[in-house]
A and B are shown apart, each in its own frame.
Chain A
Amino acid sequence: MSGYLNDIQVYGPGFLSAAWTVLWLTLLTIVLSWVFGLAAALGQRSDLAWVRAIAAFYVWFIRGTPALIQIFIVYFGMPQLGIRLSPYTAGVLALAINSGAYVTEIIRSGLQAIPKGQTESSLALGFSQRATMRTIILPQVARIILPSITNEALSTLKNTSLLSTITVVELTLYAQTLISATFRPFDFYIAVAIIYLVLTTILTQLAAFFERRYARLY
């Protein structure tokens, strides 16, 4: 038992900083994925055929290929085209592009769930399409999609472990470094799992809080 206390003293700070890395990588990725997802979801409804085509291709491509390959394309593949990104930038970008495609589908279904009359009554009062989307439609969509968007955020959080493959020192890679020095894979992978559990639980609670707040607003 005292051995484990000792472990926490020795490895705790390292794990904490790796967890911190995971946290901010995740937050950045989530925000960016919402931007991509919203853009693509609105793009799917554009009057312009080529905009719709790009949005459709994006969703099709991302959902049809493994996240790991997408990460490799951005980090290892892009330099061949002269675009060299740091592991962190490439990681966030790749994960956000990946998650954005799923967010697109979530927002799309949310938009479909809003009756046409909501838009019409807003337009009929003199609002622009844009103002209608911003003040009438999206707030309602946000409420509807909260549970699925939370799920997607959890996926993103867990997918950060994939970034260990492109030298981002997040939890998994940090643990692997320790394991190769100590030969204690069980202990350290369990430690990683526990830290992920703490993070996912916090995220879930946060989402539940927002859901309750929304419920009171209606």
Chain B
Amino acid sequence: MTEEAPAPLLKLRNIRKSFGDLEVLKGIDLDVAKGEVVSIIGASGSGKSTFLRSINAIEPADKGTMDFDGQQFDFDRDSRYYPSARQLQALRARIGMVFQSYNLWPHKTVLENVIHAPMNVLGQSRAEATEVAGALLDRIGLYDKKDSSPQRLSGGQQQRVAIARALAMKPRLMLFDEVTSALDPELVHEVLMLMASLAKEGMTMLLVTHEMSFARDVSSRVLFFDRGVIGEQGAPSKVLRDPESPRLRQFLHSILHDDLSQAGAAKGLIQ
């Protein structure tokens, strides 16, 4: 926000999405610069997940345009920029996504989970993919689990493998959808640490989170989702400490009670 802004990595305009009569995204505009870490907060059902899922189009928007990494998409079915199935695949290969429920593949080992897409989507050789995967598993401290079934790992370990699996594709952007919400409290920290270190390395990240201390300490910007629109956004200090809208104030108040108990644990995440 201070220096001159280069072209954003991700530029969204008027993203709209309905499920039947239910309008979930009501025209979202967003620019995300390379290296930015954007936290999305908001009440359950406000459209946060739907928004992330429209960005990598596993649930494509009904309307709106997207520029990503120099490529243009128009989600209006009639547009000539409406992406083909193949273009969507190529898009998704460059955007990593991590889910609340890990979604590792139980019929593959940890290592196989990580090398599957690099080999079969990017066409890497097994040796090449295994080398990259080995380094990633080493980084998350799970190299010795590489031949285990993911189901034998703790939730925190599974989620770190899921992050490694996404990173193995060398994504330009990472999407995280409440990735610590399913974890036991004592396992949250190890996942947040990994995400914080990614942020520090300059990974562009868009994350939905209920971890207010993480949003405050790690992100460059916080978006408050409110019933399908961005109700308020800005620097974490501004949005989280000095909210303008009553609805955001109310939201922060409602989660503060949950978060206070954990705030101490997450503090000191960033040196």
How far is the CB of A29 from the nearest CB of chain B, in Å? Answer: 28
Contact flags B143-170 to A (C-beta < 8 A → 1, else 0): 0000001010000000000100110010
CB proximity of A118 to chain B, nearest CB, Å:
6
Contact A218-B107, Cβ < 8 Å, known A120-B99, A123-B58, A124-B58: yes
Task: Verify B165–A125 contact, CB threshold 8 A.
Answer: yes
Quick one: which of B80-95 are within 8 Å of A by CB? Answer: 85, 89-90, 92-95
A126 contacts partner chain B, Cβ-Cβ < 8 Å: yes
Decide yes or no whether B97 CB sits under 8 A from chain A.
Answer: yes
Q: Among A125, A129, A143, A218, point to the contact of B149 (Cβ < 8 A).
A: A218
Q: Give the complex CA separation of A76 and B105 in angstroms.
A: 49
In-complex Cβ contact of A117 among B89, B96, B101, B149 (8 A):
B101
Chain A residues positioned under 8 Å from B17 (CB to CB): none
Interface residue tally of chain A, by bracket? 20 to 34
| A124 CB to nearest B CB, Å | 4
User: Using Cβ atoms and an 8 Å threshold, which residues of chain A touch B99?
Assistant: 117, 120-121
Q: Does B16 contact A (CB under 8 A)?
A: no
Interface residues on B, range: 20 to 34
Assess whether B117 is in contact with A125, with CB atoms less than 8 Å apart. Answer: yes
Q: Are A125 and B121 in contact (CB under 8 A)?
A: yes
Interface centre among A121, A127, A139 (most CB of B within 10 A): A121
A126→B121 contact, CB < 8 A: yes
Chain B contacts of A27 at CB under 8 A? Answer: none
| Nearest chain A residue, comparing its CB with the CB of B149 | A218
Q: Pick from A120, A125, A128, A136 the residue with the most CB of B within 10 Å.
A: A125
> Which chain A residues lie closer than 8 Å to B94 at the CB level?
126
CA distance A171 to B89 in the complex (A): 54
Which residue numbers of A lie inside 8 Å of B, CB to CB? 115, 117-118, 120-129, 131, 135-136, 139-140, 143, 217-218
Could you give 7 example pairs across A and B, Cβ below 8 Å?
Answer: A121-B165, A124-B58, A124-B92, A124-B96, A125-B121, A126-B90, A217-B107
What 4 A-B pairs have minimum CB-CB distances, sorted nearest first? Answer: A126-B93, A121-B103, A117-B103, A125-B117
